[in-house]
Amino acid sequence: MFQVLASVWALLLGMILIMIGNGMQATLMGVRGAMEGFGTLELSIITSGYFLGFLVGSRIAPELIRRVGHVRVFAALASFISAGLIAFPILTDPISWTLIRVILGFCLSGVYVTAESWLNNAATNQTRGMVLSVYMVAQMMGLIAAQGLMNLGEASGFFLFVIPSILVSLSFAPILLSITPTPASDTTKPMSLIQLYHKSPLASVGTLLLGGAFAAQFGMASVYGAAAGLSVAQITGFVAAIFTGSLVCQIPVGWLSDRMDRRLLILALAAIGTGATAVGFVVGAQYETLLVLAFVVGGVANPLYALFIAYTNDYLEVDDMAAASGGLVFAYGVGAVVGPMATGQVMELTGPKGFWLFLVVVFTAITLYAGWRMTRRPGVPVDETGSYLGVLPTSTAVAVEAAQEWYVEQAEEAAEEEGEA
């Protein structure tokens, strides 16, 4: 294990620093935007700009890497990210912030694609599963740590914008100085949404809806906190609780996923999400309660993403898995672009509680659709299902396909051992 981590420590350290910077700027948008007098709808459009850039960048970045190489792509995107983070407190108008967020989303997706390509090339068949797991944990730890750093300065000044810029700049040093560039791994052309729907209607619809829920949590939680009158410390605690729940609940959900009907688990998690968000809508901004609800909502939303991918695999041939995962990533991205704008519109009409109301609608829709789909066709027997892959919504298609590759290798090794026995 230590040998494996020693070979990728620079990537993991770099990704933690990048995620800290990304997590800080995401929370800062809601807090500083409220101070600048931006409306909820304006902030929701700014948030959606990030996910639009991320969606476009994740599809273009592999081609950029193939044409000019890892190092040049890294260096170019790093300069744009650092400049964008510093520009926020200077260009304080909604249009500028939206454009900057689109650029940041595009650049960060390119960074993730590049890092995940490197990570996949550094891993072997035996270590890929562990490397991916550590990578996912590093991402979440970075997002959680970002919330703590938010309390080191005032959101009204420059300091909190300078920190993520410095961290993102520093993140590239260990990566570029210690890793030999390797050819970018090709990503498979994703399935069309129609093809994906025919393969797995529940996963297609559920992933699309879940994208909206995740984007609302990631981008609009700080907007909600500012609108509800929470202090900066309370807002960062609220956001940190969401990501902590995501990190903690991956293991138990993965364990259950391999031992029961996945449709029933999807139904149960979505129902828990519905109940928790309904409580949030009713109780309002009681901070201690909000922390518990944030932990629960984060704890069901992120594992649901990995669960939808695992459930889709149960109905696919091995050759179709990579394309299907690419389609799911795209569907998730579409939902993530729409989600913040829909949340902002609901909050404009109903006040801060509209944040919870949007999430109630999304989780209820997933619950009802999962229940209906259970009546349409029989489930796959538990002993015939594949392994749960703990990928996160912040990962690109490169990491998802790497996880798929690991899954296929594990299945093939198990089949060989069974044949020899």
* Confidence check: pLDDT of 193 > 80: no
What is the separation of C-alpha 287 from the centre of its chain, rounded to a whole number of angstroms? 25
Query: What pLDDT is stored for residue 206 in this prediction?
Result: 93
Residues 263-287 as b/e (b if ≥16 CB within 10 A, e otherwise) read bebbbbbbbbbbbbbbbbbeeebee
Please give the Cα distance from 95 to 84 (Å, whole number).
14
Q: Side chain identity at 32, as an amino acid letter?
A: R
φ, ψ dihedrals at 65, nearest 5°: -65, -40
φ, ψ dihedrals at 223, nearest 5°: -65, -45
Tokens of 77: 């995107």
Please give the Cα distance from 127 to 403 (Å, whole number).
11
Q: Side chain identity at 409, as an amino acid letter?
A: E
DSSP letter (8 states) at residue 90: T
* Confidence check: pLDDT of 210 > 80: yes
Please give the Cα distance from 356 to 224 (Å, whole number).
9
What is the separation of C-alpha 110 from the centre of its chain, rounded to a whole number of angstroms? 14
Please give the Cα distance from 255 to 146 (Å, whole number).
29
Mean pLDDT of the residues in the chain? 83
Lowest-confidence segment of 11-15, 134-138, 225-229, 410-414 by average pLDDT: 410-414
Q: Are 270 and 307 in contact (CB under 8 A)?
A: no
Q: Are 233 and 148 in contact (CB under 8 A)?
A: no
Query: What pLDDT is stored for residue 421 in this prediction?
Result: 59
Convert the pLDDT of each residue in 213-224 to its tens digit: 999 988 899 999
3-class DSSP state of 393: coil
Q: Side chain identity at 417, as an amino acid letter?
A: E
Query: What pLDDT is stored for residue 67 in this prediction?
Result: 80
Q: Are 297 and 242 in contact (CB under 8 A)?
A: yes
Convert the pLDDT of each residue in 276-302 to its tens digit: 999 999 987 789 999 999 999 999 998
* Percent of the chain residues past pLDDT 70, beyond the cut: 82
Query: What pLDDT is stored for residue 3 in this prediction?
Result: 64
Q: Is the dihedral of CA 37, 42, 47, 50 positive or negative?
A: negative
Tokens of 22: 């990304």
Lowest-confidence segment of 158-162, 183-187, 253-257, 295-299 by average pLDDT: 183-187
